[in-house]
Amino acid sequence: MKITSTSCICPVLVCLCFVQRCYGTAHHGSIKVTRNQTKHIEGETEVHHRPKRGWVWNQFFVLEEHMGPDPQYVGKLHSNSDKGDGSVKYILTGEGAGTIFIIDDTTGDIHSTKSLDREQKTHYVLHAQAIDRRTNKPLEPESEFIIKVQDINDNAPKFTDGPYIVTVPEMSDLGTSVLQVTATDADDPTYGNSARVVYSILQGQPYFSVDPKTGVIRTALHNMDREAREHYSVVIQAKDMAGQVGGLSGSTTVNITLTDVNDNPPRFPQKHYQLYVPESAQVGSAVGKIKANDADTGSNADMTYSIINGDGVGIFSISTDKDTREGILSLKKPLNYEKKKSYTLNIEGANTHLDFRFSHLGPFKDATMLKIIVGDVDEPPLFSMPSYVMEVYENAKVGTVVGTVLAQDPDSANSLVRYFINYSVEEDRFFNIDANTGTIKTSKVLDREETPWYNITVGASENDNPGLLSHVTVGIRVLDVNDNPPELAREYDIVVCENSKPGQVIHTISATDKDDFANGPRFNFFLDESLPMNPNFTLKDNEDNTASILTRRRRFSRTIQDVYYLPIMISDGGIPSLSSSSTLTIRVCACERDGRVRTCHAEAFLSSAGLSTGALIAILLCVVILLAIVVLFITLRRSKKEPLIISEEDVRENVVTYDDEGGGEEDTEAFDITALRNPSAAEELKYRRDIRPEVKFTPRHQTLSTLESIDVQEFIKQRLAEADLDPSVPPYDSLQTYAYEGQRSEAGSISSLDSATTQSDQDYHYLGDWGPEFKKLAELYGEIESERTT
């Protein structure tokens, strides 16, 4: 089977297409392939051979973007078996078969029914087969061929990253690379010039240029100045077909900004400036500003200001404000219009960040002259000194002159000045001042020991302008006079041991004086000569502002006298000297051999008998132990219980024993215990608790009278008769026990059984006087008494 095509554009296949078309034209547009045969000679048998396939060209071409009304002819399929009688049927399968590509099954003509886009799909793979129309059997094996979509220039170049923003330093050299742009073309780069792009500049000349092949943008001028023009908009075009006429093009914009370099020195707008500053300006305050202009920006415009010369170098200073790039002029010393009325300063401003590539454009600094005019101001009075210190003696009379302050008007008018003292509302006014002369005097008597120093504030104002004030601090020191006698430094607790020896130092004393050092020490200690000589103690002046107390005799006794008094005299070193008297109290104490004080109180009589503290403690401990033994013995005796049946030889089979333990003396609910001990206290007859008897109650007064009228023996007999005649008792013998302590004695009962029902008149307050041993007992009975009272 032979495939023919009428579309052949590829230069490599021009000759083949030419041969194909010429051959096809001679045979009505198709290549006829006949079956290979061998003529037979008469007498010879016909020999059949395998037919040879004709020339196969397995590639078709179809133009993309076909817009015609009829389907585009692609090519023709033809089999050697096709005799032209329609017995051969051509079948087309593969990509796009039946939808994009159709075939005439009789003639084998292939047509494209749709417009194709090479950029979407470059080729299609199909399969062709010739079959017998009658038998549907293949006449030849299936053949594969390709239909390629032939490219046309239908895509313009595109800049995928545009628009662009880029910077380049100003003053750059010619040809400095700025940016490289790249455009892409979707057409086939292997076929023709459809994808061959050439770059050109549409806007931005003569400042920039572009390389037509690489798309590199470069500077085209020398020394491009940012201060002249900062922003540029450059339009770059990319055109395919190698830039020929008819090619498609695309463009993009490149925004180029010149960045700053330090190529401009600072400049003062003027060469001479004038500044007015009043003489009242405060030291350290800003009095003016000055600024030099710099066309650069950022750090390239940073500068510093300095005063290079002038007669005001020591009076003024200048600093740089980094935010505003201004020079701030400040005052270093006070101005005085009357002394100097103007100053001249030469101020320089210089860049801090220099670029030595542009040093030929320098110098990068500038200077100007500033004239400062000092303004006259009506100033407040000026004191002759910044502060005053004065002295005055204490106890001076009211009106004593302390000192004088002086203030003058510094202005040429020289107005009169008035003085006054600033006092707060609560402050005591110890001084006053003459309003005209400034003389300070005392208004109260001063006491150095109370306040040794005074600080007052004196103000001055002009008579013509009272609003202009000035103040000065005046310190007044109060001088001391000897007006306080010396006194003992503290209250002394002086002790003398009983075993002291004559001449022994028992204590050292010192003195103090409220007066100043000059009128206080040195102190003199001595005994009052007007009194008779003390036989027990004496005083020795140590001549170091202390004195020692010494004994005159040996052995002191607390039993004879436990306290002694020693009057002494103390004088100071002031002129005239002052003295005072004091009395020392000396206690007699018992001391150890090493001098430590043991006790200063009178001991009990046992101590005089020779018993030591350890012996007394041992005796008391023995007494306590004996008391504990006695209490324990009594407790054990009371805790023993009597058995209900004394004799164990009991012939009865059943013995009912009642062993109920009561609640003690405080248990008054279970039974009346007084009835068991004293028949006269019983209110009614008691019956057995194991059987519920029928009880006939009688009045209380009848029962008491009956019990008191009978004897104990009769009472017991009566009880025995009741037990024998009681029908409710068990049918065996039982034992009933009765106890009777008798009638009350004249002294009364010592038992506490009745204590819960009777009130006692006993007063236990005397227990508190028996000492600490009976303290707990007194507290207990005190609580009982308080409960009874409540």
For 756-769, give the secondary structure using H, E and C. HCCCCCCCCHHHHH
How high is the pLDDT of residue 179? 94
> Among positive and negative, which fits the CA dihedral 675, 679, 684, 689?
positive
- Which of 433, 427, 423 shows the shortest CA–CA distance to 402? 433
Give the per-residue pLDDT at 349.
95
The residue among 411 and 389 whose pLDDT is bigger is 389
> Taking residues 500-505, what's their average pLDDT?
91
d(CA 599, CA 589): 6
Structure tokens given for 319: 């600093």
Whole-angstrom Cα distance, residue 85 to residue 473?
141
Task: Please provide the DSSP assignment of 29-81 as one string.
Answer: TS---PPP--PPPTTSPP---PPPP-----EEEEETT---SSPEEEEEEE-TT
Residue 721 DSSP code: H
373 vs 299, 309, 337, 345, CA distance in Å? 34, 17, 9, 11
pLDDT of residue 48 exceeding 60, the answer is: no
The better pLDDT of the pair 761, 532 is held by: 532
Q: What is the pLDDT of residue 673?
A: 47
Q: What is the pLDDT of residues 644-667, one digit of tens each?
A: 444 444 444 455 555 555 555 555
Check: CB of residue 337 under 8 Å from CB of residue 375.
Answer: yes
- Supply angle C-alpha 290, 301, 167, rounded to 5: 150
One-letter amino acid for residue 404 of the chain: T
Structure letter (DSSP) for residue 457: E
Beta strands in 337-416 (DSSP E): 342-351, 365-375, 382-383, 387-393, 401-404, 407-408
Stated as kind and residue range, the H or E segment containing 609 is helix 605-609
Return the closest-CA partner of residue 357 out of 423, 261, 485. Answer: 261
Residue 643 has pLDDT above 60, yes or no: no
Identify the burial level of 235 via C-beta atoms within 10 angstroms of its C-beta, where 0-12 means exposed, 13-18 middle and 19 or more buried.
Answer: middle
For 707-712, what is the mean pLDDT? 56
What confidence score (pLDDT) does residue 316 get? 95
* pLDDT value at residue 745: 54
Q: What is the pLDDT of residue 729?
A: 63
Q: What are the residues facing 441 on neighbouring strands?
A: 401, 432
Sorted by sequence, the CB contacts under 8 Å of residue 706 that are 6+ apart come out as none
User: How buried is 116 (Cβ within 10 angstroms: 0-12 exposed, 13-18 middle, 19+ buried)?
Assistant: buried
pLDDT at 3: 53
Contact 105, 91 (CB under 8 A): yes
pLDDT band at 168 (very low <50, low <70, confident <90, very high): very high
Taking a C-beta distance cutoff of 8 angstroms, is the pair 142, 127 a contact?
yes
List the single range of 27-31, 462-466, 516-520 with lowest mean pLDDT: 27-31
Q: Taking 50 as the threshold, does the pLDDT of residue 757 lie above it?
A: no
pLDDT at 546: 94
The 3-state DSSP class for residue 199 equals strand
Average pLDDT, the chain: 79
Per the CB < 8 A criterion, the answer to whether 312 and 372 are in contact is: yes
Q: At residue 548, what are phi and psi to the nearest 5 degrees?
A: -110, 140
Q: Which residues pair with 233 in a beta bridge?
A: 255
Q: Is the pLDDT of residue 556 over 50?
A: yes
Evaluate if residue 61 carries a pLDDT over 80. Answer: yes
Residue 447 has pLDDT above 50, yes or no: yes
CB 259 within 8 A of CB 296: no
List the one residue out of 341, 346, 366 whose CA is nearest residue 273: 346
Confidence of residue 45 (pLDDT cuts 50, 70, 90): very low
Measure CA 64 to chain center. Answer: 75
Burial grade of 258 (CB within 10 A; 0-12, 13-18, 19 or more): buried
- Residue 370's Cβ-side half-sphere holds a number of Cα atoms within 13 Å equal to 32
Q: Phi first, then psi: give them for residue 697, nearest 5 degrees.
A: -80, 140
CB distance 229 to 170 below 8 Å:
no
Three-point CA angle 101, 104, 110, nearest 5°: 40
Q: Is 515 exposed, middle or buried (0-12, 13-18, 19+ CB in 10 A)?
A: buried
pLDDT of residue 704: 45
Question: Which one is predicted more confidently, 564 or 693?
Answer: 564
Within a 10 A sphere around the Cβ of 71, how many other Cβ atoms? 15
d(CA 272, CA 777): 112
The answer to whether the CB of 238 falls within 8 A of the CB of 251 is: yes
Give the distance from CA 414 to its chain's centroid. Answer: 62
Take residue 630 and report the two structure tokens written for it: 């006695």
Mean pLDDT, range 374-391, rounded to an integer: 91
pLDDT score, position 406: 95
To the nearest whole percent, how much of the chain has pLDDT over 90?
A: 42
Give the CA distances from residue 327 to residues 293, 368, 476, 648, in Å, rounded to whole numbers and listed in that order: 12, 12, 47, 132
| Cβ–Cβ < 8 Å for 259, 225 | no
Q: Please give the pLDDT value at position 6.
A: 43
The predicted pLDDT at position 154 comes to: 79
Which of the four pLDDT bands, split at 50, 70 and 90, describes residue 14?
very low
Whether pLDDT at 211 is above 90: yes
Cβ-based neighbours of 355, under 8 Å, separated by 6 or more: 261, 262, 263, 300
Structure tokens at 678: 């004293």
Return d(Cα 238, Cα 161) in angstroms, integer. Answer: 14
Instruction: Retrieve residue 373's tokens.
Output: 């005019």
pTM value > 0.75: no
Sheet holding 487-488, edge to edge: 487-488, 505-512, 546-551, 537-541
**Which comes out higher in pLDDT, residue 43 or 713?**
713
- Which stretch of 270-279, 447-456, 601-610 has the lowest confidence by average pLDDT? 601-610
59-63 β-sheet, strand order: 59-63, 143-150, 123-132, 88-94
Q: What is the pLDDT confidence band of residue 603, given thresholds at 50, 70 and 90? A: low
Q: What is the pLDDT of residues 215-236, one digit of tens each?
A: 999 999 988 999 999 999 999 9
Predicted local distance difference test score (pLDDT) of residue 405: 96
Question: How crowded is residue 247: how many other Cβ atoms within 10 Å of its Cβ?
Answer: 20
The CA R_g of the chain, rounded to the nearest whole Å, is 71
pLDDT at residue 751 is higher than 80? no
What percent of the chain stands above pLDDT 70? 75
- Report whether pLDDT(176) > 90: yes
pLDDT at 424 over 90: no
Question: Is the CB of residue 63 less than 8 Å from the CB of residue 194?
Answer: no
pLDDT at 19: 30
Cα–Cα dist 649/519, whole Å:
113
Q: What is the pLDDT of residue 609?
A: 45
- Cis bond upstream, residue 363 (ω within 30): yes
